[in-house]
Structure 1
Amino acid sequence: MKYTLRNWTFNISVILVLILSSCAVKKNQNTQELLLDTPELSAKDSLMYQQGLERSVNEKLRKKHKKTKK
């Protein structure tokens, strides 16, 4: 009796591991597809983005300087 119970629990655990691993593989494939679908930024886009960041940082520094100057 103990042997069959141990055998059943082993079989159930193996089935659960297989199900969980297949779910993990599907999730990994989905994330890789999403990564492939995202368009790469062109050099012009990345330059414009960087200039926009620099501009916003400069504006924040100017506002902070005006507040401390008064």
Structure 2
Amino acid sequence: MIIKILGSGCKKCVTLTENTQAALRDLGLTAEVVKVTDFAAIAAHGVMSTPALVIDDKVVSVGKVLSSAEVAALLKA
């Protein structure tokens, strides 16, 4: 599983990364977590508002900081 956090590296992006890592720990899952800060790469995903969460190349959240419980629900789906 590859999870991408799309964003400039702002506080919200950092929080989303931390919440994603917490959700992975809570579920006992391992995944590669990649931070994408290049705006061309972010736009290539069709994302215009950050932070965004991408799981296995599928954009699942745009423009908000998900809690670790919300990320866990997306990972289980």
TM-score by length of 2: 0.26
TM-score by length of 1: 0.29
Answer 1 or 2: which has greater strand percent: 2
Answer 1 or 2: which has greater helix percent: 1
